[in-house]
């Protein structure tokens, strides 16, 4: 008996079915699995978005944030421009000074000009009509000490500066130029501001000009009690020494401070005017000059008023009494304003315009 045989048709159908099963397992099943996985992720993300709907930024929020950012950038640019413009006065060299290709003068050229400008400044102050005394008489050395304390750097000092690093010499020259402008600021309150100063006792910077010059002559401090100046705001000890003083760095590396102090003798009535002229020469609405902050003042009475003045007059004669009283007061100096010692500590804002950030414009779609 013969076994039944499948017809070619059914054999083809079975082969086709096998191929379909194979294709489904190799192609369709992975796609279906991927579809289920994506569908699950969509459901999860939909749930997250639904829960976060209240905190999702709207178009109005984004526009508000962009506007706020623009306002911050504009304020930052305005503020840094103000400081950078004011700093140009501090960074300038002497007029008509020969400048090299690197933007700096030669050391000897600058030092000759620096010391000459200092002498001319003192000559103006000591001449009529100002007749200002500068420095304190030194019975030992024979020459006045302190005063403006100009930095007369000797050759061996330059050698120590150069040995510290190749850029140190240029840094010292820049620092000296800035120090001159600070001293000129004090001189100008007398020469231009009309402040009646009779004596400039001391002018000093509290930071070392260079670490290798820690015992330079211009950094000497008073030793006699009547010469000590009480500097405020720099942590000075009772002897007037600001030991361990450090300048303050501006935020984001935008520069530092340059701190100095000066002590002058003047009538007490001139004290407010002197401080005003130091901070804002000419009382201008917005001085295009170095930005100076006042960090401390100290006023010391130099002379006491005469406690008692005696005079003799004809009793009952009022005119004689008034005349003799005026003569006695004049002789005793009782009716003249008493001088005071004004010590002022200031900081110049030494701004570094190269550290100003540049913000790109916000792109909008």
Quick one: 345 and 298 in the same domain?
Answer: yes
Any domain includes 24: no
Furthest CA-CA distance within the chain: 177
Quick one: 126 and 155 in the same domain?
Answer: yes
Residues in the chain: 365
Q: Give the pLDDT confidence score for residue 73 in this predicted structure.
A: 92
Domain carrying residue 314: 305-337
68 is written with which tokens? 């706020």
- By the 8 A CB rule, do 158 and 93 touch? no
Q: CB 149: neighbour CB atoms within 10 A? A: 20
Any domain includes 22: no
Quick one: 131 and 164 in the same domain?
Answer: yes
The Cα 184–Cα 336 span in angstroms is: 30
Quick one: 277 and 195 in the same domain?
Answer: yes
Quick one: 138 and 99 in the same domain?
Answer: yes
Q: Give the pLDDT confidence score for residue 159 in this predicted structure.
A: 94
Q: Buried b / exposed e across 24-46, counting CB within 10 Å, b at 16+? A: eeeeeeeeeeeeeeeeeeeeeee
Any domain includes 67: no
- For the chain, report the end-to-end CA distance as a whole number of angstroms: 85
Nearest Cα neighbor of 162 from 152, 173, 151 is 173
Which run of H or of E encompasses 348?
Answer: strand 339-351
Q: Give the pLDDT confidence score for residue 281 in this predicted structure.
A: 87
Any domain includes 46: no
Quick one: 310 and 190 in the same domain?
Answer: no
Query: How many structural domains comprise the chain?
Result: 2
Quick one: 228 and 194 in the same domain?
Answer: yes
Which run of H or of E encompasses 63?
Answer: helix 59-91
Quick one: 310 and 177 in the same domain?
Answer: no
64 is written with which tokens? 């508000």
**What's the whole-model pTM score?**
0.77
Quick one: 154 and 296 in the same domain?
Answer: yes
Q: Give the pLDDT confidence score for residue 40 in this predicted structure.
A: 84
Quick one: 316 and 189 in the same domain?
Answer: no
Any domain includes 109: yes
Any domain includes 342: yes
Residue spans of beta strands (DSSP E) within 192-254: 199-205
* Residue appearing with tokens 């100009």: 150
- By the 8 A CB rule, do 267 and 195 touch? no
Quick one: 232 and 294 in the same domain?
Answer: yes
Phi–psi pair at 300, nearest 5 degrees: -120, 130
Residue 340 pairs in a beta bridge with 266, 301
Quick one: 344 and 316 in the same domain?
Answer: no
Any domain includes 157: yes
Q: List the pLDDT tens digit at each of the 365 positions of the chain.
A: 555 666 777 677 777 777 776 666 666 667 777 778 888 888 888 877 777 666 677 788 888 989 999 999 999 999 999 999 989 999 999 999 999 999 999 999 999 999 999 999 999 999 999 999 999 988 666 788 999 999 999 999 999 999 998 899 999 999 999 999 999 999 999 999 999 999 999 999 999 999 999 889 998 888 888 889 999 999 988 888 888 889 999 999 999 999 999 999 999 999 999 999 999 887 654 545 788 999 999 999 876 666 677 878 888 888 988 888 888 777 766 556 678 999 999 999 999 999 999 887 665 54
Any domain includes 28: no
Query: Is the omega angle on the peptide bond into residue 305 within 30 degrees of 0, that is, cis?
Result: no
Q: What is the 3-state secondary structure (H, E, C) of 171-206?
A: HHHHHHHHHHHHHHHHHHHHHCCCCCCCEEEEEEEC
23 is written with which tokens? 């294709």
């Amino acid at each position: 008996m013969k076994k039944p045989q499948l017809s070619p048709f059914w054999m083809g159908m079975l082969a086709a079915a096998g191929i379909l099963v194979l294709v489904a397992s190799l192609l369709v099943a992975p796609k279906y699995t991927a579809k289920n996985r994506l569908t699950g992720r969509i459901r999860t993300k939909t749930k997250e978005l639904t829960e976060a709907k209240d905190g999702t930024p709207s178009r109005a929020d984004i526009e508000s944030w962009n506007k706020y950012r623009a306002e911050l950038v504009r304020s930052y640019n305005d503020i840094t421009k103000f400081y950078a413009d004011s700093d140009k006065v501090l960074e300038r060299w002497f007029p008509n000074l020969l400048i090299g290709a690197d933007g700096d003068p030669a050391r000897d050229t600058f030092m000759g000009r620096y010391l000459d400008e200092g002498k001319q400044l003192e000559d103006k102050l000591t001449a009529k009509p100002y007749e200002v005394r500068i420095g304190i008489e030194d019975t030992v050395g024979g020459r006045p000490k302190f005063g403006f304390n100009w930095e007369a750097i000797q050759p061996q000092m330059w050698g120590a500066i150069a040995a510290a690093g190749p850029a140190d010499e240029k840094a010292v020259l820049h620092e000296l130029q800035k120090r001159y402008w600070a001293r000129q600021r004090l001189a100008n309150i007398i020469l231009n501001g009309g402040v009646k100063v009779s004596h400039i006792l001391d002018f000093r910077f509290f930071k070392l000009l260079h670490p290798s010059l820690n015992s330079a002559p211009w950094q000497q401090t008073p030793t006699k009690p009547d010469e000590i100046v009480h500097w405020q705001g720099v942590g000075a000890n009772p002897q007037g020494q600001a030991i361990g003083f450090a300048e303050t760095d501006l935020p984001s590396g935008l520069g530092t401070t340059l701190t100095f102090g000066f002590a002058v003798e003047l009538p007490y009535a001139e004290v407010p005017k002197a401080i005003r002229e130091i901070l804002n020469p000419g009382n201008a609405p917005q001085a295009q000059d170095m930005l100076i902050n006042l960090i401390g003042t100290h006023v010391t009475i130099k002379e006491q008023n005469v406690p008692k003045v005696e005079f003799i007059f004809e009793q009952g004669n009022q005119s004689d009494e008034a005349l003799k009283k005026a003569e006695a007061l004049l002789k005793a100096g009782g009716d003249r304003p008493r001088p005071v010692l004004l010590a002022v500590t200031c900081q110049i804002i030494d701004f570094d315009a190269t550290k100003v950030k540049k913000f790109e414009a916000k792109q909008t779609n």
